[in-house]
A and B are shown apart, each in its own frame.
Chain A
Amino acid sequence: MSHLPLSRRGFLRGTAGLAGVTALSSLPLAARAADKLTVGFIYVGAKDDYGYNQSHAEGAAALKSMPGVTVVEEEKVAETVDVTKTMESMINFDGATLLFPTSFGYFDPFILELAPKYKTVRFEHCGGLWTDKDPKNVGSYFGYIDMAVYLNGICAGHATKSKKIGFVAAKPIPQVLENINCFLLGARAVDPSITCQVIFTGEWSMPVKEAEATNALCDAGCDVITAHVDGPKVVMQTAAGRGAYICGYHANQSALAPDKYLTGAEWNWGKVYTDFLTKVMAGGTIDNFVRGGLAEGFVKMSPLGPAVSDAARKQFADTQAAILKGGFSVFKGPMKDNTGKEVIPAGKVYLETDVALESMNYLVEGVLGTTS
């Protein structure tokens, strides 16, 4: 990690001196707009993985052109005490006062334990579920990408001939389960007889296993395949090579197989991070709990591929319009999980913004697979 020419102490001394000769000195410190800010980004994998980590790194790259903002990054930081070391090093050596540890497993316990020690540092975690009980200098943000996956499911539902679609998943955490469920529910909005086979690889990035899982799905008769792993390139290539249609995830993977690519659920972190930083540089603070979906520009869809039929395009556009309008719900009762247990009682409706969805621990009826 590089050492910046400006230490934190020097920076404080400098800004204090500056404050003496400007009119700003009469303002309380907190309200004064920051003129310099060091932001730290931490990724669990390689930052050019053509997937999750790259989507964040591109968001971080968008900040580098903002005046006064310095971005420090570290990739391949494990979801262990390693991330604590990285965070402390960014705070103490690089003078970072705003951190973006972007992997799910960093939140609890690592961020929650470190935050009380550095009260002047802001920890912004992607995907965590911040509650009132957590430190006030911690925030969590995430996008409702499950709605984009639901739209993937609609295209998949129209494209499948075998009425069986496939999902290569990394780990059974709530966000992954939500995506699997949304993919099937989107397809079932087209044809309720469709089922979705899921295979868990157990790791965020394991190309050989992902390829094996994709082949196993194709062998089982799935003809539309998507994935939730850090770098979906291998899944996309393998599935398209076996003749299946594909729905992208994290980023636009249409270049890998333009004829087979239906659409994809993409992150749009560049916008999110720029908005955050604009707010901070203007003297504001980021809310502790930030969420946004297609309407807020947190996530977006890949352009529809040539294999998407007219009927699919129409249903896609109608559903997208309904999601953008707000009040659209995918998870509404009565709904059973795939063991037959009722998970949402009749009459209960969860909107995309409902926090209860973020602790999902079941696979809905029609998904072939288990969570453990």
Chain B
Amino acid sequence: MTDLGLWAVPVAILGGAIRVSTPFLFVSLGEVLTERAGRINLGLEGTLVFGAMAGYAVAYESGSAWAGVLAAALAGVIFGLLHGLICSLPKVNDIAIGIALMLLGTGLAFFFGTPYVQPVAPRLPAIDLGFWSGIPQVQAALTVNVLFLVGIALALGMAWMLRATRIGLILRVVGDSTDAARAMGLRPNAIRIAATATGGAFAGVAGAYLSLFYPGAWSQGISSGQGLMAVALVIFARWNPLNCVWAALLFGGAGALGPALQSVGLSDGYYLYYAAPYVLTLGVLIATSSPNRATAGAPGELSITK
């Protein structure tokens, strides 16, 4: 192994950004889709944990990691549908339902997940993008999972869809004004349910990434709040799928800062480095906030903007 000295820190941050960002990316893309249709789904944390469990269990039982990803996505669709359907009832608060579903998802995952803590499920394959480098650390940092690339493609696709396609227009209309959508002959509730279900599928896949690739094991502590932080990332990203990519990479990289600094010998006050992602969020939010554009980009039908 080559001794990189202080260069180890940027390499580790790059590697960490790629490894840790994928769950953030998928959950935040799912939430963008949901919120662009006018609903907030705080339950994605629960969907993520349940997806992690379902993905791991199915991958272990079937022997195929991709079957696990599919199962996690399906589980996510079911949770999304549940949220969407309940919120379509009159006078139901989507934030409260989200919190309830978050607890339900984690609870169910812990209940069914007990037998799967110890077994080893097949892992998702990775693509070695660091083959050009002779440095093992760089090779390791650039070992990229397929889902990360899928996530970036999804972000690009969603940005294009929201901007240039009829489906994107429908989604935006439903999210910005229920009345306008009705006037266009659209059925807002059906569209919102579909968007929430798709968003749920994304969160389920994020969970499968956690349990099937990185860190690559199912346990009750698998999520350290990625699902919740990703919901906050959406506000940070101003409901723009492309910004979600940057925000997710930033959070992933900031999370790698603590271990990386300790590994090169800067170990005083490591608790402080571990707070980096949160300090970063606060800093960026303060820097970008303004009384005039606090909710710029926010869909008009969101319960927080109404």
Question: What residues of chain A have their CB less than 8 Å away from a CB belonging to chain B?
Answer: 45-46, 48-50, 76, 162, 197-202, 205-213, 215-221, 223, 231, 233-234, 237-238, 241-242, 255-256, 368-370, 372
Contacts and interface: CB of A to CB of B under 8 A. Distances in A.
A216 B141 CA distance: 10
B260 A233 contact: no
Nearest to A234: B215
B267 A370 contact: yes
Contacts of B268: 370, 372
Contact of A208 (B4, B11, B110, B210): B210
B16 interface: yes
B288 interface: no
Q: Chain A's interface: helix, strand, loop or mixed, by majority?
A: mixed
A212 B110 CA distance: 24
Interface stretch (B28-36, B38-46, B216-224): B216-224
20 contacts: A45-B220, A45-B221, A48-B118, A49-B221, A199-B259, A199-B262, A200-B262, A200-B270, A202-B270, A207-B222, A208-B210, A212-B255, A212-B256, A212-B259, A216-B256, A219-B4, A223-B1, A231-B219, A234-B216, A370-B268
Best-surrounded residue of B214, B217, B226 (most CB of chain A within 10 A): B217
Contact of B221 (A46, A216, A238, A242): A46
A216 B220 contact: no
B10 to A, nearest CB: 11
Given A207-B217, A207-B222, A46 B274 contact: no
A49 B222 CA distance: 11
A221 B2 CA distance: 7
Given A49-B220, A212-B16, 15 more contacts: A46-B221, A50-B219, A199-B267, A209-B259, A212-B19, A212-B256, A215-B12, A215-B15, A216-B8, A216-B263, A219-B15, A223-B1, A237-B120, A369-B262, A370-B267
B8 A209 contact: no
A46 B117 contact: yes
Band of interface residues on B: 35 or more
B243 interface: no
B221 A207 contact: yes
A234 B211 CA distance: 10
Contacts of A217: 263
A215 B110 contact: no
Contact of A256 (B120, B255, B259, B269): B120
A208 B48 CA distance: 14
A299 B219 CA distance: 25
Interface string B1-25: 1011000100110011001100000
A238 B140 contact: no
